[in-house]
Amino acid sequence: MRKFWTGVFQNRKRKVLEQKLLAQVDRTKLPRHLAIIMDGNGRWAQKRGLPRTAGHRYGVEALRKVIEASVELGIPVLTVYAFSTENWKRPKEEVSVLMDLIVEYLQKELDELHQQNIKIRTIGSIKELPFNAREELAKAEKTTAQNSGLKLNVALNYGGRMEILEAARTVARQVETGVLQSSEITEELFSSYLFTAGQPDPDLLIRPSGEYRISNFLLWQLAYAELYFTDIYWPDFSKEEFYRAILDFQGRNRRYGGV
Ligand code: FPP
């Protein structure tokens, strides 16, 4: 019984803190695009004597909270790194659980995401994913295509270098066939060949789990992003953490190479 009341009390305390932080967020200075590397699921699980896959399961809960908070705040674009081109090197069973989680998540949450006016897009080389994952992702994109709220990019089998190479190949082909002059290749034009075409570049990248690198994520797009690192593992990433990151971002002085 004592444990129960301690839990209730802690939950209340957390809510109060969350509201306090939220009240400090300046809604006129939000990142137009927020990118997140959802890292630390495996270590979170290992610390609790659980299989790594349990960490991914709890990681989905953290993602749900962050999507909700982004919608509530009115952040225009959110990109989450769910599976990199390098993640295929993981044990077969872990890869399979991750793919199943994506399918499960979409089957369970698509209606809710749609109701929240979220527009889902996958970025990455989708054709290598299992059939059922591709099917659910295609359904999610189609169902939400006309939505005008949060743009949610889910990076799957994504690699930044691969994205840049693909764009470079397409541009090169257009030059070869005379559709383009090399002098016409500008940053804007090149950006329009990336998965994120038409979207603003991320203003803020969040990476939890105490790692300080960008791991082949949005290499082109992150050129001027503010980077926010925290030691918390992704499954523990709460709305409180989310607001802390936004507040930290709002306190930065962005100069873009100027003074
Ligand atoms: C990195 O943690 C996390 C991943 C490779 C997977 C992220 C996926 C999810 C949160 C869930 C699935 C997503 C959707 C869209 C439903 P890690 O396993 O590398 O952790 P570690 O560094 O502690 O080992």
Percent of the chain whose pLDDT exceeds 90: 93
Q: How far apart are CA 17 and CA 38, in angstroms?
A: 23
**Runs of H (alpha helix) within the chain:** 2-24, 41-47, 52-73, 92-115, 131-144, 160-176, 187-191, 239-250
pTM: 0.96
Q: How far apart are CA 35 and CA 188, in angstroms?
A: 20
Q: How far is the CA of 57 from the centre of ligand 1 (A)?
A: 9
Task: Please report, for the chain, the start and end positions of each structural domain, with discontinuous segments joined by +.
Answer: 30-158+201-250
Condensed to tens digits (0 to 9), the pLDDT of residues 65-75 reads 999 999 999 99
Do you know the residue count of the chain? Answer: 259
What are the CA-CA distances from residue 14 to residues 40, 71, 209, 238 (Å)? 22, 20, 21, 10
Average pLDDT over residues 216-227: 98
Condensed to tens digits (0 to 9), the pLDDT of residues 165-201 reads 999 999 999 999 999 999 999 999 999 999 999 999 9
- Ligand 1 atom index nearest CA of 46: 23
Ligand 1 pocket test: which of 39, 87, 134, 212 has the largest number of ligand atoms within 8 Å of its C-beta? Answer: 39
Cβ–ligand 1 contact at 154 (below 6 Å): yes
Cβ–ligand 1 contact at 136 (below 6 Å): no
Q: How far apart are CA 29 and CA 247, in angstroms?
A: 10
**Eight-state DSSP code of residue 202:** P
Task: Give yes or no for a contact between 78 and 66, defined as CB atoms under 8 angstroms apart.
Answer: yes
Separation of CA 208 from chain center: 12
Separation of CA 42 from chain center: 18
Tell me the pLDDT band of 63, cut-offs 50, 70 and 90.
very high
Q: How far apart are CA 214 and CA 158, in angstroms?
A: 13
CATH code of 30-158+201-250, in short, is: 3.40.1180.10
